[in-house]
């Protein structure tokens, strides 16, 4: 039996007070994670802009020259993944809270644990940061 199914069965069997207490605990935890995801979304967006600024201000690449190469594409994909996964995490977190309330809800995303999406967001962000750091080292060292 899936975790989502067990949760639905527990919700149906639990008292109103138990459901409310569980909802409040889940809400407090999800708010902290969602605030953190929002921060990663904002930093990921700023990091996308940083790659262009870095090429212009630090590497002094002329405006007519292309900065697009394998490094920059990988960096951009990682930070874009961070933004998309962070936004999707926030959606899943709200859907998970929705399940704890005493009403019908759309359960099509019950199979997707929000924690897995949160992990993808973290991997995307730190992967992009690592690639950007390596790119900067190689570019500044003259390779």
Per-residue pLDDT of the chain (143 residues; tens, 9 = 90+): 566 677 667 667 777 787 778 888 888 998 999 999 999 999 999 998 888 887 777 776 776 777 778 988 999 999 999 999 999 999 998 888 877 776 676 777 778 888 999 999 999 999 999 999 998 888 878 75
What per-residue confidence (pLDDT) applies to 94?
87
**Cα–Cα distance between 45 and 47 in angstroms, integer?**
5
How crowded is residue 133: how many other Cβ atoms within 10 Å of its Cβ?
11
What per-residue confidence (pLDDT) applies to 103?
65
Q: Locate all alpha helices (DSSP H) within the chain, ordered by sequence.
A: 3-13, 16-53, 70-100, 114-140
Range of the domain at 79: 3-140
The first and second tokens of residue 4, run together, are: 């989502």
Task: Count how many domains the chain has.
Answer: 1
Long-range contacts of 116-122 (CB under 8 A, 24+ apart): 117/85, 117/88, 117/89, 117/92, 118/33, 118/37, 118/85, 118/89, 120/81, 120/85, 121/37, 121/40, 121/81, 121/82, 121/85, 121/86, 121/89, 122/40
Rg (CA), the chain: 21
Global model pTM greater than 0.85: no
């Amino acid at each position: 039996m899936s975790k989502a199914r067990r949760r639905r069965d527990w919700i149906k069997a639990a008292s109103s007070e138990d459901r409310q207490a569980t909802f409040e605990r889940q809400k407090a935890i999800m708010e902290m994670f969602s605030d953190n995801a929002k921060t990663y979304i904002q930093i990921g967006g700023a990091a996308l802009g940083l790659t262009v600024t870095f090429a212009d201000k630090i590497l002094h690449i002329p405006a007519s020259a292309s900065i697009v190469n394998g490094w920059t594409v990988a960096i951009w994909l990682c930070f874009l993944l961070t933004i998309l996964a962070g936004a999707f995490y926030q959606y899943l977190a709200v859907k998970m809270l929705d399940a704890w309330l005493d009403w019908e809800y759309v359960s099509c995303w019950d199979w997707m644990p929000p924690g897995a999406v949160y992990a993808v967001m973290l991997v995307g962000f730190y992967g992009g940061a690592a690639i950007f750091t390596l790119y900067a080292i190689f570019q500044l060292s003259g390779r």
